[in-house]
């Protein structure tokens, strides 16, 4: 009872205060720890008793479209600054909700166009999402008083929840739809008794009820290396110095090489043979790592993790087996760290391969 009335009063009060005294909104939620910008914005809209679209039109005007782009990655200043002003949130925590926070860690420099390394692609088409770019952990959602979506769930190398040790999901297990909580309130005519954000917008399945799965482990050293990488972004994540832009870049480069087939050289086949694991079917074509499903990423990451657990000797072994070439190691790699270039250099002379 009363929700429509409440919505009216809240929107009336919003109208009344436009241009008046305080710039603050009646509802001034602050971001939860590691909450995504888009999630925070949707909570604010619903908190005001309004549909997301209505709220955004009211606040940002009809000309500023919010949901036809990846606002978490793009983080438009007009949007973030407005939220800072209207909710009294500190600029640091407001900007901390955006994927710009990973600049200089996961990718070197923010670019407006294209994609960012390690940031999962949403593939926004109008207001729908064609990509599976937002993952979730059902156990994390279930533990929340108010379920919300974490920034770290947009990272392509996160396939396992560092808190629960179970696989993340990259889509609704019930209907297969990509997560799009901003569309939850579109079905109903009137705002606004919206379901918690953990509900699938497409089939209403509560994502908290998804059954957590244990991750498949190919090699325990590789798995702990990967878990360590995920943990850098975890609930109490403090980036350790060895996990820097360079190391994440090497990991990304090796993940890319894993899917390259170059003059019969196939690094993936070599690693699979070494650890005695079957390949899985991978999406064809030149798709980036950030567009792959969680199963494909988990598979490729584990092969890469095995290499990284003893990088120089395992890469050298792969090179001796003609599974990888020097030029492929550095191909399209703009910012290799010095130690990686050094390893690659050592593998530049084919005569050395014959020496043993």
Q: What is the contact surface with Zn ion in residues (CB under 5 A)? A: 137, 139-140, 161, 163-164, 172, 174-175, 177, 200, 202-203, 205
Our CB check for Zn ion shows the closer of 118 and 199 to be 199
User: In whole angstroms, how close is the CB of 133 to Zn ion at the nearest point?
Assistant: 16
CB-nearer residue toward Zn ion: 48 or 182: 182
> Least distance from C-beta 308 to Zn ion, angstroms?
24
Q: How far is the CB of 163 from Zn ion (least distance, A)?
A: 4
Q: Which is nearer to Zn ion, 103 or 228 (CB)?
A: 228
CB of 110 or CB of 205, closer to Zn ion: 205
Secondary structure of the chain in HEC code, one letter for each residue: CCHHHHHHHHHHHHHHHCCCCCCCCCCCCCCCCCECHHHHHHHHHHHCCCCHHHHHHHHHCCCCCCCCCCHHHHCCHHHHHHHHHHHCCCHHHHHCCCHHHHECCCECCCCCCCCCCCECCCCEECCEECCCCCCECHHHHHHCCCCCCEHHHHECCCCECCCCCCECECCCCCCCCCCCHHHHHHCCCCCCCCCCCCECCCCCCEHHHCCCCCCCCCCHHHHHHHHHHHHCCCCCCCCCCCCCHHHHHHHHHHHHHHCCCECCECHHHHHHHHHCCCCCCCCCCCCCHHHCCHHHHHHHHHHHHHHHCCHHHHHHHHHHCCCCCHHHHHCCCCCCCHHHHHHHHHCCCHHHHHHC
Shortest Å, Cβ 85 to Zn ion: 33
**Smaller CB distance to Zn ion: residue 50 or 178?**
178
Which lies closer to Zn ion via its Cβ, residue 140 or residue 156?
140
Q: Minimum CB separation from Zn ion for residue 165, in Å? A: 8
Shortest spacing between CB 207 and Zn ion, in angstroms: 8
């Amino acid at each position: 009872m009363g929700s429509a009335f409440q919505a009216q009063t809240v929107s009336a009060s919003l109208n009344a205060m436009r241009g008046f005294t305080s710039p603050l909104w009646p509802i001034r939620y602050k971001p939860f720890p590691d909450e995504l910008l888009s999630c925070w914005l949707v909570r604010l809209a619903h908190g005001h008793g309004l549909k997301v679209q209505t709220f955004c039109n009211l606040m940002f005007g009809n000309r500023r479209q919010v949901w036809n782009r990846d606002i978490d990655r793009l983080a438009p200043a007009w949007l973030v600054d407005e939220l800072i002003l209207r909710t009294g949130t500190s600029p640091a925590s407001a900007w901390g909700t955006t994927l710009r926070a990973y600049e200089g860690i996961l990718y070197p420099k923010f670019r407006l166009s294209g994609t960012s390394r390690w940031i999962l692609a949403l593939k926004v088409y109008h207001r729908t999402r064609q990509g599976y770019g937002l993952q979730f952990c059902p156990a994390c959602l279930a533990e929340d008083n108010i379920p919300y979506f974490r920034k770290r769930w947009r990272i392509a190398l996160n396939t396992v929840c560092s808190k629960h040790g179970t696989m993340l999901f990259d889509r609704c297990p019930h209907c297969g739809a990509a997560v799009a909580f901003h569309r939850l309130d579109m079905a109903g005519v009137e705002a606004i008794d919206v379901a918690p954000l953990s509900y699938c917008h497409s089939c209403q399945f509560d994502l908290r009820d998804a059954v957590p799965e244990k991750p498949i482990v190919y090699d325990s050293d590789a798995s702990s290396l990967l878990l360590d990488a995920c943990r850098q972004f975890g609930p109490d994540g403090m980036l350790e110095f060895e996990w820097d832009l360079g190391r994440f870049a090497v990991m990304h480069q090796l993940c890319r090489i894993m899917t390259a087939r170059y003059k019969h050289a196939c690094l993936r086949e070599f690693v699979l043979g070494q650890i005695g694991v079957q390949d899985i079917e991978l999406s064809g074509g030149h798709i980036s790592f950030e567009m792959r499903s969680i199963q494909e990423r988990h598979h490729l990451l584990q092969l890469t993790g095995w290499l990284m657990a003893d990088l120089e000797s395992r890469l050298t072994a792969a090179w001796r087996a003609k599974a990888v070439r020097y030029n492929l190691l550095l191909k399209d790699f703009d910012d290799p760290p010095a130690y990686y270039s050094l390893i690659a250099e050592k593998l530049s002379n084919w005569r050395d391969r014959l020496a043993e």
